[in-house]
Amino acid sequence: MDVSAFPTNAVLSKDEWLKARLELLALEKEETRLRDKVRAARRALPWVRVDKDYVFDTPEGGKTLSDLFAGRSQLLIYHFMFGPDWSEGCVGCSFMADHFDGTLAHLNHHDVTLVAVSRGTLEQIEAYKARMNWQFPWVSSYATDFNHDYRVSFTQEEMQGETINYNFRDMPASEGFEELPGLSAFYRNEAGEIFHTYSTYARGPEEVIGTLMLLDRAPLGRNEDKTMSFLKRHDEYAAKPEQQASSCCH
């Protein structure tokens, strides 16, 4: 953590501090009302029927997208950056995934299933999952077009072009990666029809990362010079600097 820049906050009396805090509270309440408005608009977003068949490689064998719901009506898929030629998962996605296990019981009892999906092979996923000591469901989309269809994986041909389409816009291919992160939501009705209801990319899923939300309330905040520059995999903080990998999500 870089603390070289000493904080320059004013030091005030308790009464003066309270006045400044109340001004911030008004801004925080405005943020909360806007957040509620955004969430309502998100729930009201139109849906798209999913007619394409996908079969994912899982520890229990091949499973369809419908199977991933595990008997529930709602499915959240985290698009975890882990390509088929990678030796380990993305640092930023690993940070996100550190927050999943504690949510599972609550999500599942609220009729929501959470699954991570990567284009890496199941063998790669299982080995890395064991290293990280994670329990959440994580499956491979290696043999499907799923990642490409939901714009989180890109072909060599796309990467050699001028632009790729990510986060609902065209961006220079030179600024992207073959694998990028995201979060997608799906609904399955009683007839078994599946609908894509929402996707978010880049910093969109950031609110899911509770550690960042806590850091935002600490005196020095995230203390980063670029997005998550402080980050390491949770088993790498005690490693020597030359053994620590930077986040592929930066």
- Considering the domain boundaries, does residue 180 fall inside one? yes
The answer to whether residue 144 sits within a structural domain is yes
Give the Cα separation of 88 and 81 in Å (integer). 9
Query: What is the block-wise mean pLDDT of the chain (250 residues), using blocks of 10 residues?
Result: 70 93 96 97 98 96 98 98 96 97 98 98 98 98 96 92 93 88 98 98 94 93 85 88 53
Handedness of CA 229, 233, 238, 243 (dihedral sign): negative
59 belongs to a structural domain? yes
Determine, yes or no, domain membership for 145: yes
d(CA 222, CA 247): 15
Segments forming the whole domain that contains residue 119: 48-207
CATH number at residue 145: 3.40.30.10
Query: Tens of pLDDT along 31-73?
Result: 999 999 999 999 999 999 999 999 999 999 999 999 999 999 9
- Considering the domain boundaries, does residue 26 fall inside one? no
What does the pLDDT read at residue 249?
57
| Nearby residues of 17 by Cβ (< 8 Å), 6 or more positions away | none
Query: Does residue 96 lie within any of the structural domains?
Result: yes
Asked if residue 80 is part of any domain, the answer here is yes
Q: How many domains does the chain have?
A: 1
**Interatomic CA distance for residues 156 and 154, integer angstroms:** 7
pTM for the full predicted model: 0.91
Mean pLDDT of the chain: 92
H/E stretch holding 113: strand 112-118
